[in-house]
Amino acid sequence: MMLIQQDRKFLLEIKGYEFDKSTFSEDLNWLNIQIWAHDDFNKWNAKGAFLRTNELKQLYLWFKGIEDRKNEVDRIDFIENELSFQYFKDENRICINLDFDFHPKKERYVYGKDEEYKLFFDLNFINIKKLIQDLEQLILKFPER
């Protein structure tokens, strides 16, 4: 999944399941993800098991709702707070919120002091159909187990 607009770029890749096998069903659907991001001020990448397969489906449906103009939820958050997305309907743009391990400060991040790092993308410049197709392919590649 990639978003590019002028001086801003965000790429999210799924590297695989966190656990190939587990006796705990709760562990089977965690995904290792890696992000690359940059804007005028920072350029960084980070990775970790911060997304579950059902949350990947929720993200797909969230973007599909934006495309269909039926999205009633302006923000989507996940169990792990490293990554979230926000939709500003009146401005037709989205914001990718990066926090904790996905924040550009990484190990210099101060809990209680630092806040989410925000990357804004104007949907007039984003191919949302391609974004949705990319998410659909990821869902097929990493199904819920």
Enumerate domains of the chain plus CATH numbers.
2-141 (2.30.31)
Position of tokens 């939820």?
73
pLDDT digits (tens, 9 = 90+) for 22-58: 888 889 999 999 999 999 999 999 999 999 999 999 9
Phi, psi of 3 (to 5 degrees): -125, 130
In the three-class reduction of DSSP (H, G, I as helix; E, B as strand; rest coil), residue 115 is classed as coil
Q: Is 87:59 a contact under the CB 8 Å cutoff?
A: no
The span from the CA of 120 to the CA of 122, in Å, is 7
pTM of the model: 0.94
Q: Is 117:41 a contact under the CB 8 Å cutoff?
A: no
